[in-house]
Structure 1
Amino acid sequence: MAVYATEGLLEVLIEFAADREPEEANVPIAATPAGELTGLDSQLADLAPGTPVLTHFYLPDAAGSVTAVFGVDLGTPSGGAQARFVSHPTGPRAVTKTDDLAGVVLVAVPPWEVRTVTAFDRNGTELELRRLDAEPPVERIE
């Protein structure tokens, strides 16, 4: 099984992991259907329009005070996150027992470069990660 993610998302996640070091990063990620992406090129020509592509992340501390007081996670939208990004500053490049799990877990290890990100399923089986040069639609608040 292949996992698709935008280059822009992976670059931001790597920056976040580098900024958090020596602490681990733990970030929920959401997907956008391939048919809604712009900047489509030959990479996306073979993808079905409904294929999920990881495009957005949610800051893990976005609703920290509300979560601490009420025990409700408001940092992740109601639609949920389909994946999770974790960094392991001292390794391993694998899913560990202490990682928060999701259907897909992206794991990064130093050096903090996009090429160090590996995709796994929740059981720790490595998945093919395909990086796409595409952008999600611009979201506006009415």
Structure 2
Amino acid sequence: MIYVTRDLLAVLRERAASEDPDGVNVRLSATPAGEFEADIGLDPETPVVTHFTLPSVGNSVNSVFGVDLGTPAGEGGARFLSHPDGFLGVSRTDDLAAVVIVAVPPYDGDSVAAFDRSGTGVELAVVDAAPPSESVPE
């Protein structure tokens, strides 16, 4: 089972709809359930997908040096893809991760599913909680 916050899933579906007929392909990052400010009813070590990384982050360094700085260390074990052609699954041409969340038109709650890297369906559970607040040290 993969857990994802409702707000993140809504943002990802909106992005997919706005980019249609082009596909969306973004890395996702998780936060352990124990780091949420409220108890969300999961084991504290359970990862909950809470963030995405824009595809352009780190591209200039990657292009020059071949180093991917767009994914924080230890993150990016999941990916969100949209398939404007309506295929709700994982294809051979997709960028894969441990878990892949796929959305298809009309990009509503019934048009999203999760898969492992081999294309086997994984249960997707939506969590009604906001990720912990983050700040940049001064």
TM, length-normalised to structure 1: 0.90
Provide the C-alpha distance between the structure 2 equivalents of 1:50 and 1:70, rounded to a whole number of angstroms. Answer: 34
Structure 1 SS opposite 2:94? coil
Q: How many residues align?
A: 137
Query: Structure 1, unaligned stretches of length 5 or more?
Result: none
The question of 1:128 aligning with 2:123 is answered yes
Q: Do residues 9 (structure 1) and 8 (structure 2) align?
A: yes
What is the alpha-carbon distance in structure 1 between the residues aligned to residue 44 and residue 34 of structure 2?
4
TM-score, normalised via structure 2 length: 0.92
Residue 135 (structure 2) aligned to one of 126, 136, 140: 140
Q: 2:83 maps to which residue?
A: 88
Q: CA shift at 1:39, angstroms?
A: 4.5
Over aligned residues, Cα RMSD in angstroms? 1.3
Spell out the pairing of 1:50-61 with structure 2 (5 A cutoff).
50-61=45-56
The one-letter code of the counterpart of 1:103 is A
Q: Secondary structure at the match of 1:53?
A: strand
- Deviation string 1:73-94 (CA, Å, 9 cap, x unpaired) is 2211122212000000012100
How far apart in 2 are the matches of 1:109 and 1:39? 32
Distance in 2 (alpha carbons) for counterparts of 1:61 and 1:113: 26
- Matched residues in 1 for 2:106 and 2:37: separation? 30
The CA distance in 1 between the partners of 2:48 and 2:56, in whole Å, is 24
Taking the aligned partners of 1:16 and 1:34, their CA distance within structure 2 comes to 25
Instruction: State the partner residue of 1:109.
Output: 104
What runs of 5+ residues in structure 2 fail to find an aligned partner?
none
Offset of residue 62 of structure 1: 1.7
Deviations 1:50-82 (A, max 9, x none): 111111100011222332232222211122212
What CA distance in whole angstroms lies between the structure 1 residues aligned with 2:12 and 2:109? 9
Taking only the aligned residue pairs, the percentage that are identical comes to 54
**Distance in 2 (alpha carbons) for counterparts of 1:70 and 1:20:** 29
Residue by residue over 1:27-63, the C-alpha shift from the partner in whole angstroms, topping out at 9 and shown as x without a partner, is 00011111112344xxx32x21111111110001122
Shift of 1:19: 2.0
Other-structure match for 1:69 = 64
